[in-house]
Amino acid sequence: MKKIFIVVTFVLCFTLMLNAESLEDKLRYFNLEDATSFLQPLANSMGAGMNSGLYNTAEVLKPFRPSFRFGGTFAIIPSSDKTFLAHSPYGEIVETATIFGTDVGKFTQGAEEILLPKGADLSLVPVPQMMLALGLPFGNEVMFRGWFETKLSGEIGDMGFWGVGLKHSIDQYLPAIFPLDLSLVGFYQKMNVADFINLESYSVNIAASIKVLMLTIYGGAGYEQANLEAKYVYSFPYSPDPPLVTTLDFKGKNDFSGMLGARMTVFPLVSVFADFTYAHTSTINFGVGVGF
């Protein structure tokens, strides 16, 4: 089940890599700045997805009690992330598709027209969420998420993802009559796709929650950042030899975010949850958790 979920997710995210042109082939049409603009929505969406689903309560697990949850996040691609302005070697500036867009432009050189590459035509980017947590003494909880290196397809290659985080109780320092659970949640995560794309992300959140019978309302505010590195070869037609081979290195546009969600206990030790995070690239997160 885990592998099916991962495969479906990233085949969707990298649909364009399964077309006649690989992603590397598509990037060769653009100069360094425009190649970054073409990939920018990928850093935005994957970073947003990775930094979602980090908690569904501000309450910290009791020492040495475990919990496990799995589900998914959908990053919502804004319309502004579907196109960008590309600059041709001939002085033209044209609007064309990003990695998630479909409305392509074209460069002209005399009577010749060069059609720019099409994106994957995605408005939602799914990111799987699987996390194991363990309560520790002194109001702490350690969290792990990810999976082992997984082969997606011959075209894409292997993909790996892992992350580690810590939740620390703040309300333990407040009077017992304080009605909310409060905690500080920090996370570091890393994803790689073959030897082509590497994505690092980190986030710090202040989380709050309140429980009424079987229902927990939770939310928080945080700062997050993602950094994407991608292999880049610029060999646009008529460009000088040899081609420029380098690495794109840039940050996602998400920074501050706000989140609100709800969790319901449906069976002893089993709960379902859903939440919405507002940011440059907003996300919807949902799943099932088992905890003690």
pLDDT at 25: 77
* Cβ atoms of residues 197 and 169 within 8 Å: no
pLDDT tens, position by position, 73-119? 999 999 999 999 999 888 899 999 999 999 999 998 777 888 898 88
- The per-residue pLDDT for 160 is 80
Confidence of residue 239 (pLDDT cuts 50, 70, 90): low
Q: How far is CA 140 from the centre of its chain?
A: 25
* Residues 178-227 pLDDT 10s: 899 999 999 999 988 767 789 999 999 999 999 999 999 999 999 999 99
CB 238 within 8 A of CB 255: no
Q: Give the separation between CA 34 and CA 30, rounded to whole angstroms.
A: 5
- Split into its structural domains, the chain has a count of 1
Among 110-124, 134-148, 161-175, which is the least confidently predicted range?
110-124
Domain that holds residue 223: 2-291
* Number of C-beta neighbours around residue 9 at 10 A: 19
Reply yes or no on whether the pLDDT at 48 is more than 80.
yes
Out of 1-5, 8-12, 14-18, 284-288, least confident range: 14-18
pLDDT at 113: 86
Residue 198's domain is classified under what CATH number? 2.40.128
The Cα–Cα gap between 28 and 231 comes to 11
* Cα–Cα distance measured from residue 96 to residue 21, given in angstroms and rounded to the nearest whole number: 17
